[in-house]
Structure formats: C-alpha cells, structure tokens
Structure 1
Amino acid sequence: MNTPTLTLSDGAEIPQIGLGTWELRGEEAYRVVRDAVEVGYRLIDTATLYNNEAEVGRAINDAIKAGDVTRDDVVVTSKVWDSDHGADSTKKAFQQTLSLMQLDYLDVYLIHSPVPGSNVETFEAMAQLQGLGSIQSIGVSNFYPSVLEELIDKTGIVPAINQVELHPGFSQAELRKLHQKLGIVTQAWAPFGGGDFFNHPVILEVARRHKVASSVIILSWMVAIGCVAIPKTAQKERLLLNLKVHDFRLSDDDVSKITAIDNESGAGRKFWDPKPVGR
C-alpha cells in the first residue's frame, strides 16, 4: 500500500498518514503498533509523556524481526517533554528514549511544547544530536507563530515539522501559511477533533458522495491541504479504514467546503491552547 508522502526540508520523506499513540499503554500499545505496521502504516508517533516508548519500540523491533518491514521503512517520532528541556537534560532524555525503544536512531525528534526561556537551548541540543547522526529530522510541536519565529531567529535552524492541533473547524490557515513560507511541514494531532465532526453536514454530504466513512473524508482533506495526520485508534478495522485515503481524491470544491467549516459558530480549538494568555 503506497501511502502519500511529503518531503521535509532536510530531504527526508514522511508519510501523510501515521499512527498516533497518545493514551495507548502497555500491551495494548504493543498490539496496536504491530497491527498498524502489518496493515501498512509507516509513520509511528510517540513521546516521553505517553509512557509507552518501550512498548512502541518493542512492536517496531518485532515487526522488523518478523520481516514485515526494515528499519528504513518506518518513520519513528518521539518528543522531549517540558521537564527535560535544557542542553544536558535534552540529551539525557533522548538517550533514555533510544534505550527504551531499543533503537539506534530516531527519524524525527520534536520539542513537545514551548517552554519560555528554554526552547533555544533545547533545540540546539537536538541539532547537535542530529549532527551526530542520531536523529534524521528535528522539529517542534504546539509552537505558535511568535515562538516559532523566535526559535528560528535565535538558532538559525528551521524546524522540519510543527505538530499542532488541526481538524475541521480549526484548519490553522494562518499557521499553515507561515509554515509554507518557511518550509515547515504541518502535522496534525487530533485530526478528528475528538470526533465532533463525524456528523457535520458538510462531512456527511461529501462522505455519501464518495461512499466512504466521515473519518476517511477528514483524513483525505488533511492530505489535500498538505498536512501529515496521526489519528489514534486501538481497533484494527479503524486502522484499515484510515488508510482508505489512498482510494480516491477529493475535489477542490470538497476541500474548500470542509476548510470553510472554520467560519462556523462553535468552530475553533477543541483542546489545550499552548499560547499563554496575553501573548
């Protein structure tokens, strides 16, 4: 199954549909990752905060041992948590992640969220690890324009990725425009908005016309607007369903109608806002 990919600024390829593992724990995390790799996922996203790096890594390694994939086939992402910011702490946290996952390198390592006063030092430490060959691509998560531009200005390094909340009703149009200008790939967490848009009239109408589920329409829209999406599910049938984005293309009109949900009453951010009040 050929998953559509994007090329990062450093030349690495990243699938546009991956697996998010937030709230997956223990053997469930292991099972879901094994299932995901088996059915065709080649992007797996975790983080120190998720407390599942060991299980995710074990699943990936077992898939490699079984001959399902090679290490080069799988894009593995993790993130440094807020309490591990700083030069030394970041490097220690990264080595702990590699140890837990039993991997020689990470494909993508992100700052999980902006922490005032420590983003620059943390990102520079990540760049040093990248220079040593331990990380392919470095990026950020939950960065809003002012902290993103400050990071670039002070380090001289443009993150390859910014992973942010993005879904119908909150398409992050201005941030995506900035990302495009800077050469940053937009990655969407919570692409379904907590499920709030599965029964939205626009989504349902497009889904009926294409004879697919609402979730597939949402992910197809993500692909069409140039994003990477990392939906989470613990069900194998849903894993398979999410990959049906490969079966068809939305029209420009479909894409515009879904993007326009941003303008409706009640649209907007559904989860945590990383931007401090007054900033």
Structure 2
Amino acid sequence: MEKEGLSRALQYLHDNSLTIGMLITDRHKQINKFMSQSYPDIEHQYDVWHVAKGLKKKLQKAAKYTDCMVVGEWTKSITNHMYWCTASSPDGDEKVKRWKSLMDHLCNDHSNCYGDHTDLENRHKKWLIPGSKACEKVSDLITNKQLLADVRKLSSHHQTSSFESYHSVVNHFAPKLLAFSYVGIYCRLLIAVMHFNENFERPQAVTKSRREKMKFYFSKAKQGECTPKIVPVPPTYRYASELMEKAIYFITHPDERPPLPEEPPSLTSQYEHPDKDLIPLFSRYKK
C-alpha cells in the first residue's frame, strides 16, 4: 500500500507539471527499490528518526545478553551520535566517516574522534573493552553494511515529523478501527487536511504572567524518561463554519453541486480471480 500510494502521488505531481528534487521517507525496502528504478533523478533520503529507532531496538536487545549490560548504558549516546552525524555534515561520505569513528570513542580511544571531549572525565559510563562480547556486538551493529548505506542517505535538513503529525490528525477524523466508503474516507481526508493546515505550527501558549507553557511527558518507550514539550495555543475550527455555509448553499442550489469523485478500482482487481465453482469441494472445507 505504501509503494502504491507513493507511485500514485508522484504520478499526480508529474501530471500537474511539478518537479520533485528530493524525497524523504522511512527505510521501506520496496520504496527504496522503486525510487532507484523508476525515479533515479529524484534524490531519495531517509528520515533519521526511523533509522535511529531501529538501531535503538537492536542495541536494547543486545544489552540483554550476558556480559553485555554495558551496551544499555551507551544506547542513548549512540543514537544521539547518529543525529549529530546527520546534522553536522550534508555529505554522505562524511556522515559515514563520523559514524564509524564512534567505535573508537566507545573504547576510550579519542585520537580519531570528532568534536570536543574535554568533559569525558565527568562521565560515569563504563568504556567498552576491545575484544569483549559487548564490544563485538556493538561493532557488528555499527559497522553493518546496510546501516552504513542508510547513514549515507540520512537527511540533514528535512524530516518527516510534520507528516507524522498529519497522520495523527487523519487518525482522529478517520480511525483505522472503522471502515468507510471511498467517498466517506475521501471527505474525511479533506477535513483532516483543512484542520492540519489551519492549525499547523501554532504558537506556544503563555500563562497570565506571560510565561511560556511547557508540559512534561513520561513515555513508556523511554522507560519513564522525562521529555519536555511546548504547549501550543488551542486549535481553531474556522474551516467548519465555511463548510457549513457551503453545505447549505449546495442544498439550496442542487444544480451547482459538484460531482462526487469516481471510485478507483481496487488493488486486487488487477489480478485474475479463480472461479469458485471450479474449486474442489474438499478444499473449501479443509481445516
């Protein structure tokens, strides 16, 4: 579905004479292959959050092995280093070079490391011992060929966070637990777009004493770690009044009512369907 949706979206933009210079997605293998074969002229990059999230899960799994508990102490630092490599260098080769230098840093060898290390003596983490089981597991993860290829394609300037926010708005107006008709989901998507565009990048709310409002979240995924977030001003719904005026107008002027969108064929319609009468009887009731 993701590949088909991307294909239709790119075709729609192409039909409307829009040129795409860069596309940022997650690490979907089918999309990566599709972009390299069908749109080689578009620069395809990855969102760093998705790559860091996958690496974090592997590090947490490795920390559960015997003699590898020290890996858990460095999990957050390793993922933060990936963000730093992405933000500090727009060149793919430089990102990989800085990422590989992490292994020397974890083993307390800072001769080839980047950045300032004057505060290392204040850290309480245990260094990895070269040749140990923990060091080998972390090295296998950091120097993995697929991960190095992904680090090379990480986006330095743009991310998919706003798109994820839009998806949360879509889930509000069109919950995945409910089924809608094509026209129903089409209308709900339009409402989600209007709501998102009207309330995108809302300013931060302030108290009566003009102090900026902040709120602390304790995420289960971060094992109770506190995350500060700004509190935006309440959302507005001006688009709802405009929709009501349009609805009343089209009810009183049915001749000017716009046509409903034509429902496209389903994805399964492109395949050949067997005749149910030709299927052997025993296969229908096979347990």
**TM-score normalized by structure 2?**
0.30
Higher relative contact order (CA 8 A, sep 6+): 1
More strand by share: 1
More helix by share: 2
